[in-house]
Structure 1
Amino acid sequence: MTTPPEDFENDPTGMRDLLRSLPDPGPMPPEVADRITAALVLEQQQRASSDHSNVTPLTRPDRPAGTARPASRKWLQVVGGLVAAAAVAAVAVVGVNSLHHDNAPTSAVPSPTSVSGDQLAERVHVQSSGTNYTPANFNAQAASMATDTSATKPDPSLITDFGSITKRAALLGCARSIAGALLDDPSSIKVDLATFEGKPAVVIVVTNAGKRTAFAVSRTCSRNEQPYAAPRVV
Structure 2
Amino acid sequence: MSALRITVWNEGVHESTKDPVGMDEYYPDGIHGALASGIGEQIPDATVRTALLSDPEHGLTEEVLADTDVLLWWGHKAHGQVDDAVVDRVQQHVLGGMGLLVLHSGHFSKIFTRLLGTTCSLSWRNAAEREAVWTVNPTHPIAEGVPNPLVIPEQETYGELFDIPAPDELIFISSFSGGEVFRSGVTFNRGRGRIFYFSPGDERYPVYNQPEIKRVIANGIRWAARPGVDRVAPKVSNPDRDWYL
Larger radius of gyration: 1
TM range, smaller chain: under 0.3
Task: Give the TM-score taking structure 2 as reference length.
Answer: 0.23
Q: Which has the higher contact order (CA 8 A, sep 6+)?
A: 2
Task: Give the TM-score taking structure 1 as reference length.
Answer: 0.24
